[in-house]
């Protein structure tokens, strides 16, 4: 009777790809310099990825040759104005569905288009990059890859995934990568990994944990060999390589395997989405999501330098919630402050004009200097708990602190040790409230971001100015005590205002265990805006009072809160204001509400 090991050996595609024990032995023999050469490097790089300028998953905007070249021209214009770009990566759907990653999509590209794109990248000192699914062929019922003959004996019983340690798939995939490397591609983005994939015969012979181990081992060994042969290759890991990415309310636990750092140059920490921290500025909640993921990956032992926060996205597609370039400056600042050596830039670069390129270049220059010569550590509390947090970057002659107050209250933050006797300068802040630096503290308004410099960085030449916040930070906030009554998935509040002015409503929804409950209206086409599902109403004597909201978007990733502002007029003081909030989901949820007066 054959053993599991002999079964696997017989079904591996050939020599050069190792079993779990063999891989562990070889990994131990690598010197430190060899490991550094294979994965990780010191000089930061800026990688443009064109997803979000198109979107064929949560939207209906296709990738075409014309779109790809349009983004290349916009990139080159920004580059000529001082913005650093080292790579242009062609994201998902560049390939023909039945071409095994060796042909470009015929209905979208001319016969000469791919070669012209590759050559224009190389002529302008840009590393070309390409997207690949690790071994999944179907996402949400969308079959984006067809099985070719070379992959047939790796096909799983579901017919949607491919085994990585049996049959011809992995050998063919590595051959495809080599073909593209030989043509000049240098950056490879790997998405959609399923390490439970196995053929029906293997499912009968091996335990699920053994299948997982052998898939991971074969894939790491294959990438290791590929990088040894192709030393300029940069490998990016996306979905399927660990991490709790669906929300910011689940407690941290060990979910990211640091062994992936032996072959990948960076691990991404989740597609950008709103956090479970309610914010009037919808985009600030989205910032907080990425920061919370950084904290999670750091607690899993992933160095900040190796985390791809994937948070910078401008565009008018569903994947970035049609943001255009709203609040893009704060988004850029935080995406750089998070200290990943591979800084990814997503979306429609045609939205950025000459004035934008100036801010982009100056911000990039500041943080690239810190990334190249300094070190960055986490500062403050946990983003997903609405605690003040930030990033402290240090050089020998100065420091830069990027700090966020995610709460609805003004906060006075004690500056880092050693700053008390130094000159400190405010380099950047969101518009509205002007942060005050006094007695080794800085005051920040609700939801506010600021950047401070000390030592050599307390110099006007490092000034970045104000953010483009179209909803300015309030000068002051005051929580109003309210009593909420819940009936089903509806909550009501009556309150009597004692002063005119603006009031901010914040509602949250939770499932059992206190975990935030997200509701989604789906993706385009036919999706519903969250304003229709998480609905707020304010009225006086049966007449509606207008509410200003910014979460009225199609949010594929779901939302667990609603925030809005309304205004009380002088003649409404002392009268009963009726508030109602409804979560339109069949599941029973716990609702909580808060009312804040803003000045």
Position 8 scores a pLDDT of 43
Tokens of 154: 């790796």
Task: Check whether 32 has a pLDDT greater than 80.
Answer: no
The residue among 420, 370, 371 whose CA lies nearest residue 398 is: 370
Q: List CB contacts of 145: < 8 A, sequence separation 6 or more.
A: 95, 97, 133, 137, 138
**CA–CA separation, 100 and 531 (whole Å):** 42
Label the pairing between strands 485-487 and 490-495.
Answer: antiparallel
**CA–CA separation, 283 and 328 (whole Å):** 9
Average pLDDT over residues 461-470: 92
Position 73 scores a pLDDT of 98
**CA–CA separation, 466 and 429 (whole Å):** 5
Q: List CB contacts of 234: < 8 A, sequence separation 6 or more.
A: 45, 87, 127, 129, 186, 187, 188, 265, 342
Task: Check whether 36 has a pLDDT greater than 50.
Answer: no
Position 114 scores a pLDDT of 98
Q: At what angle do helices 354-373 and 65-80 cross, to 10 degrees?
A: 70
Q: Which residue has the higher pLDDT, 6 or 296?
A: 296
Position 18 scores a pLDDT of 34
Q: What is the pTM of this model?
A: 0.93
Position 500 scores a pLDDT of 97
Q: Are 439 and 251 in contact (CB under 8 A)?
A: no
Tens of pLDDT, residue by residue over 287-301, are: 999 999 999 999 999
- Percent of the chain topping pLDDT 90: 90
pLDDT band at 41 (very low <50, low <70, confident <90, very high): low
Position 513 scores a pLDDT of 86
Provide the 10 A C-beta neighbour count for residue 512: 9
Task: Check whether 2 has a pLDDT greater than 50.
Answer: no
CA dihedral sign, ordered 116, 122, 125, 131: positive
Residue whose structure tokens are 């890991």: 237
Tens of pLDDT, residue by residue over 149-195, are: 999 999 999 999 999 999 999 999 999 999 999 999 999 999 999 99
Strand partners, 320: none
- Percent of the chain topping pLDDT 70: 93
94 DSSP 8-state letter: -
Tens of pLDDT, residue by residue over 299-309, are: 999 999 999 99
Tens of pLDDT, residue by residue over 512-527, are: 889 999 999 998 888 9
Tokens of 186: 């240098």
Average pLDDT over residues 361-379: 97
Determine the straight-line distance between the first and last CA of the chain, rounded to whole angstroms: 78
Q: Are 308 and 272 in contact (CB under 8 A)?
A: no
Task: Check whether 496 has a pLDDT greater than 50.
Answer: yes
User: Please, what is the average pLDDT of the chain?
Assistant: 93
Task: Check whether 11 has a pLDDT greater than 50.
Answer: no
Q: Are 427 and 463 in contact (CB under 8 A)?
A: yes
Report CA Rg, the chain. Answer: 26
Domains of the chain, each with CATH number or no CATH? 4-28+38-374 (3.20.20.70), 380-466 (2.60.40.1180), 477-598 (2.60.120)
Average pLDDT over residues 570-594: 97
């Amino acid at each position: 009777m054959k053993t599991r090991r002999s079964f696997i050996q017989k079904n591996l595609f050939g020599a050069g790809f190792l079993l779990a024990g063999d891989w562990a032995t070889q990994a131990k023999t690598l010197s430190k310099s060899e490991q550094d050469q294979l994965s990780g490097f010191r000089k930061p790089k800026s990688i443009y990825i064109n997803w979000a300028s198109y979107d064929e998953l949560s939207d209906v905007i296709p990738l075409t040759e014309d779109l790809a070249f349009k983004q290349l021209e916009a990139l080159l214009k920004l580059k000529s104005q001082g913005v650093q770009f080292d790579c242009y990566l062609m994201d998902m759907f560049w390939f023909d569905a039945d071409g095994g990653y060796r042909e470009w999509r015929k209905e979208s590209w001319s016969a000469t288009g791919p070669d012209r794109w590759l050559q224009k990248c190389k002529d302008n000192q840009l590393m070309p990059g390409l997207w690949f699914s690790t071994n999944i062929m179907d996402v949400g019922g969308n079959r984006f890859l067809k099985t070719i003959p070379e992959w047939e004996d790796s096909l799983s019983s579901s017919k949607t995934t491919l085994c990585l340690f049996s049959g011809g798939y992995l050998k063919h995939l590595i051959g495809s990568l080599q073909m593209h490397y030989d043509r000049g591609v240098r950056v490879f983005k790997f998405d959609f990994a399923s390490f439970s994939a196995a053929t029906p015969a293997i499912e009968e012979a091996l335990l699920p944990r053994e299948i997982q181990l052998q898939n991971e081992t074969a894939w790491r060994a294959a990438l290791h060999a590929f990088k040894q042969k192709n030393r300029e290759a940069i490998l990016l890991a996306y979905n399927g390589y660990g991490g709790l990415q669906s929300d910011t309310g689940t407690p941290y636990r060990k979910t990211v395997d640091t062994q992936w750092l032996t072959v990948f140059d960076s691990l991404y920490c989740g597609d950008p989405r709103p956090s479970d921290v309610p914010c009037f500025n919808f985009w600030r909640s989205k910032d907080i999501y990425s920061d919370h993921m950084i904290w999670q990956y750091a607690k899993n032992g992933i160095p900040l330098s190796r985390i791809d926060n994937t948070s910078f996205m401008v565009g008018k597609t569903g994947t970035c919630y049609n943001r255009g370039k709203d609040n893009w400056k704060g988004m850029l600042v935080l995406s750089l402050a998070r200290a990943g050596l591979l800084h990814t830039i997503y979306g429609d670069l045609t939205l950025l004009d000459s004035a934008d390129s100036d801010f982009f270049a100056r911000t990039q220059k500041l943080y690239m200097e810190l990334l190249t010569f300094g070190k960055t550590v986490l500062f403050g509390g946990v983003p997903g708990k609405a605690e003040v947090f930030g990033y402290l970057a240090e050089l020998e002659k100065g420091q830069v602190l990027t700090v966020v107050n995610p709460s609805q209250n003004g906060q006075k933050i004690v500056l880092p040790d050693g700053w008390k006797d130094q000159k400190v300068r405010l380099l950047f802040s969101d518009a509205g409230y002007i942060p005050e630096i006094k007695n080794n503290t800085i005051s920040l308004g609700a939801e506010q971001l600021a950047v401070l410099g000390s030592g050599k960085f307390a110099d006007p030449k490092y000034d970045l100015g104000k953010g483009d916040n179209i909803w300015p930070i309030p000068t002051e906030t005051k929580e109003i005590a309210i009593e909420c009554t819940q009936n089903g998935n509806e909550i009501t509040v009556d309150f009597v205002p004692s002063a005119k002015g603006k009031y901010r409503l914040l509602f949250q929804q939770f499932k059992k265990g206190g975990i935030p409950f997200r509701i989604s209206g789906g993706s385009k086409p036919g999706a519903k805006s969250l304003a229709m599902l998480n609905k707020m109403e304010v009225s006086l004597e049966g007449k509606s009072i207008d509410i200003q909201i910014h979460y009225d978007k199609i949010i594929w990733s779901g939302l667990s809160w609603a925030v809005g502002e309304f205004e009380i007029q002088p003649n409404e003081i002392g009268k009963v204001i009726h508030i109602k909030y409804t979560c339109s989901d069949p599941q029973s949820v716990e609702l909580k509400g808060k009312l804040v007066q803003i000045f």
